[in-house]
Amino acid sequence: MTDDRRVRPRLATVICIYEGASVLLGVVSYCILTYSHRIHPSVADYSTPLLQSVVIWLRYVLALAAAIALWQMRRAAFYLLAGRVAIALVLFLVSLLPSTPPTPAHSEYMMSTTVVGGMIHIVSAAFLILHACIAWYVYNITSPKALSPHVPESNTLT
């Protein structure tokens, strides 16, 4: 049996580490928020709706599976990362939907939350573009054409 996978590029290794670290950071931040809410119930409730929580955990699972598949230079890494980008795109588009209209009494409060919300949308869009670029790169390096056996040129005289 011939293994036609080639050596993993350095950028692919960096992407594997990034995906694994993002999962680790997400799980740790979730645990910290849950723990801080249990210790200080006066802190704002950070609970999320069940569907949103399931989607967030699904994104973590996809990222971890993609990191493992990319480490092995499998084509499945692209499909996992593309699924993660699709979920992130849907969440981003849903976040753009307008919420309840502001009341005149809360206009100053709404102004500050609008600015912060705009900044969050810009950062979210930047990460969405980054993850789409990562998925495209993984598509290119795991394509069957890229995975064909690479025959290095020999320096021997014939």
pLDDT tens string 30-77: 888 778 777 776 655 556 677 777 888 899 999 999 999 999 999 999
Question: Between 150 and 133, whose confidence is greater?
Answer: 133
Cβ pair 85, 63 in contact under 8 A? no
Question: Shortest CA distance to 96 belongs to which of 117, 76, 79?
Answer: 117
67: Cβ contacts below 8 Å, ≥ 6 apart: 15, 16, 17, 19, 20, 23, 77
Instruction: Tokens for 113, please give them.
Output: 């939350």
Averaged pLDDT for residues 132-137 = 96
CB distance 19 to 64 below 8 Å: yes
81 close to 124: Cβ distance less than 8 angstroms: no
Which helix H or strand E contains 94, and what residues bound it?
helix 76-95
Confidence of residue 87 (pLDDT cuts 50, 70, 90): very high
Mean pLDDT computed over 81-102 = 85
Burial of 77 from C-beta contacts in 10 A (0-12 / 13-18 / 19+):
buried
Picking from 16-20, 46-50, 72-76, 130-134, which range would have the lowest pLDDT averaged per residue?
A: 46-50
